[in-house]
Amino acid sequence: MLNILPFFLFFLPFLIGNNRICVAVKTGFVGRNGTQFVLNGEQVYLNGFNAYWMMTTAADTASKGRATVTTALRQASAVGMNVARIWGFNEGDYIPLQISPGSYSEDVFKGLDFVVYEAGRFNIKLIISLVNNFEDYGGRKKYVEWAGLDEPDEFYTNSAVKQFYKNHVKTVLTRKNTITGRMYKDDPTIFSWELINEPRCNDSTGSNILQDWVKEMASYVKSIDSNHLLEIGLEGFYGESIPERTVYNPGGRVLTGTDFITNNQIPDIDFATIHIYPDSWLPLQSSRTGEQDTFVDRWIGAHIEDCDNIIKKPLLITEFGKSSKYPGFSLEKRNKFFQRVYDVIYDSARTGGSCTGGVFWQLTTNRTGLLGDGYEVFMQAGPNTTAQLIADQSSKLKNLKYPPLVTHSAE
């Protein structure tokens, strides 16, 4: 576990427009100061990975699943990674966490207990997502089915479905870890909660529906847990609040019911997120590296600019990857893509910008398992490997000489 100092630092939280100072009361919890993440009074730079599979893998004790989780965390720590994004849900048919509304598998919950405990041992913070937009691992479609409904978008509006989700949030946040004896909401190993992975809403009034849902659920999470940061789970698509920004969406005006600007301006949301998948978002350009590079630069740059100047909150790239299943793939091309993303993150971080971290999709340890979605990254040692790129990025961020934190005062 993390070594938590046996005393407390007390800060006065206050609001200055959207630039809320959000510093956790207890030491060991990550907070934010304007557009920067902070931990125990110092700025935090992040380099990490996605591993959605960790909870269910750790629950499968018969096949040495926990050893697999430990191996992944050890390998990640060895190259300096300090944050992981995982699922805190599964309503699907395979090793479900939530079997039916309010009914949970204790074995699967113990798997999540182990992941939280083990991440703490390796000094890796966790971003835990609370539901999926898609049908994989159940998702909002399963919640709607539980309520006897057919339309997935009713996840955001139906009172019974929303209560199902709130009940799940409360169950996870107040879960007492069977290994540490600590409730999740009191565990500094957790970096943040994520409301929903990649939300979408197809309703014609989708932007308003999602905005209202995020407000309601963010407020509910904060009513239970004031220690941890909270983010939505957005991919970063622009909406109608600033129509001219929609040109940065992949393929132009792609409207999914989300609005990067207004969604992230909600006071209870602590930081913004984006995802980057040029191969799947721009399939016609999948073999044209130059066009993809231009998109990546514009996509990240626009969001950094908006977080710096409009949203005034930190920005974290919580998913990016390049799949071996797309035409023209090579490890060299993937490494160049990773390096491009890492360079933009580093340039923002070293100049005090809002983007100070990235979390690639995805880390695995098993080359022949069920996790082969084409994006898997193995920590193979040696020069010119993806693992070496990751280690170099970790080292560069760790060695940044950050300026003293600015202490804001109420006006």
Of the candidates 119, 104, 35, 29, the one whose C-alpha atom is nearest the C-alpha of residue 74 is 119
Of the candidates 240, 161, 155, the one whose C-alpha atom is nearest the C-alpha of residue 201 is 155
Contacts of 331 (CB under 8 A, 6+ apart): 386
Establish how many alpha carbons lie within 13 A of residue 69's alpha carbon, considering only the half-sphere containing its beta carbon: 29
**Rounded CA gap, 32 and 117, in Å?**
24
| Interstrand relation of 103-104 and 190-194 (parallel, antiparallel or unpaired) | unpaired
| Interstrand relation of 36-39 and 30-33 (parallel, antiparallel or unpaired) | antiparallel
Of the candidates 132, 158, 133, the one whose C-alpha atom is nearest the C-alpha of residue 144 is 158
CA-based radius of gyration for the chain: 20
**Is 209:153 a contact under the CB 8 Å cutoff?**
yes
Is 319 designated active site? Answer: yes
* 118, 194, 235, 319: the active-site residue: 319
H-helix or E-strand spanning residue 294: helix 289-306
Contacts of 208 (CB under 8 A, 6+ apart): none
* 91, 118, 194, 198: the active-site residue: 198
Q: Which residue has the tokens 């992941």?
A: 115
**Rounded CA gap, 365 and 363, in Å?**
7
The residues annotated as belonging to the active site are 198, 319
